[in-house]
């Protein structure tokens, strides 16, 4: 039987949803982000996933709950950050965002935007143009999320991406991250 602190606090939590369709590597991206935040940056994190039967196509999402305190309920409900890599995901989840939540979409694939501030980046197009493959669009997006929100440190993210990337694709994935950082930097410049 456990004894407990009488002092009860509900720590601030930060909720992230990475959404899109099967095959876009969202569960992988969620795992990478969770490890970077949890193990390398030392915060508490719970990552869950929701997906259909399809390995390719079909809705897919990965939720992260980040907190300095204990995390009990592991799903994201009031999103601080939503990444939508498909129109369907954008339509379905943008209402779950907090009022001041951040919506990031892949502008290559999402063109009908909800009535709110949206940050669009051509993740898939950039991955295709610069790295000759759309499959690292998820990692490009992670780079942008990292640079824009500071929810995860760049160093941690680079280390985990290199560690978790399939053998032989470490460079490719690190380049994808750099592209993501770059996209965010350009945006900030423009905003200024």
Among 47-55, 83-91, 118-126, 132-140, the segment contacting another protein (CB under 8 A): 47-55
Among 15, 25, 26, 74, binds another protein (CB under 8 A): 74
Identify which of residues 22 and 122 has a Cβ nearer to another protein in the complex.
22
Kindly give the interhelix angle for 123-131 and 137-149, rounded to the nearest 10 degrees: 120
Alpha-carbon gap, residue 51 to 58, rounded angstroms: 8
Rule CB under 8 A: say whether 8 interacts with another protein.
yes
Nearest residue to 179 (alpha-carbon basis) of 167, 161, 163, 164: 161
- CA angle at 110 for the pair 15 and 16, rounded to the nearest 5°: 5
Among 41-49, 101-109, 115-123, 135-143, the segment contacting another protein (CB under 8 A): 41-49
Largest CA distance in the chain: 58
Rule CB under 8 A: say whether 34 interacts with another protein.
yes
Alpha-carbon gap, residue 101 to 129, rounded angstroms: 30
Rule CB under 8 A: say whether 152 interacts with another protein.
no
End-to-end CA distance of the chain: 56
Among 16, 18, 45, 176, binds another protein (CB under 8 A): 45
Number of residues engaging another protein in binding (CB under 8 A): 27
Give me the residues that bind another protein (CB under 8 A), please.
1-2, 4, 8, 10, 31, 34-35, 38-39, 44-53, 70-75, 77
């Amino acid at each position: 039987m456990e004894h407990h602190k009488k002092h009860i606090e509900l720590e601030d939590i930060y909720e992230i949803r990475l959404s899109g369709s099967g095959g876009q590597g969202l569960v992988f991206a969620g795992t990478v982000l969770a490890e970077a935040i949890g193990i390398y940056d030392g915060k508490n994190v719970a990552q869950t996933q929701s997906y259909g039967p399809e390995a390719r196509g079909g809705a897919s999402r990965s939720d992260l709950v980040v907190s300095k305190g204990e995390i009990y309920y592991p799903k994201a409900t009031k999103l601080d950050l939503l990444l939508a890599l498909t129109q369907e995901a954008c339509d379905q989840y943008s209402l779950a965002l907090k009022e001041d939540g951040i919506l990031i979409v892949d502008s290559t694939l999402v063109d009908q935007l909800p009535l709110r501030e949206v940050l669009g980046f051509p993740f898939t197009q950039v991955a295709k143009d610069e790295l000759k493959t759309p499959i690292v669009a998820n990692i490009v997006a992670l780079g942008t999320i990292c640079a824009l929100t500071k929810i995860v440190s760049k160093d941690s993210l680079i280390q985990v991406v290199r560690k978790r990337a399939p053998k032989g694709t470490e460079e490719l994935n690190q380049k994808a991250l750099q592209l993501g950082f770059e996209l965010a930097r350009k945006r900030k410049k423009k905003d200024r």
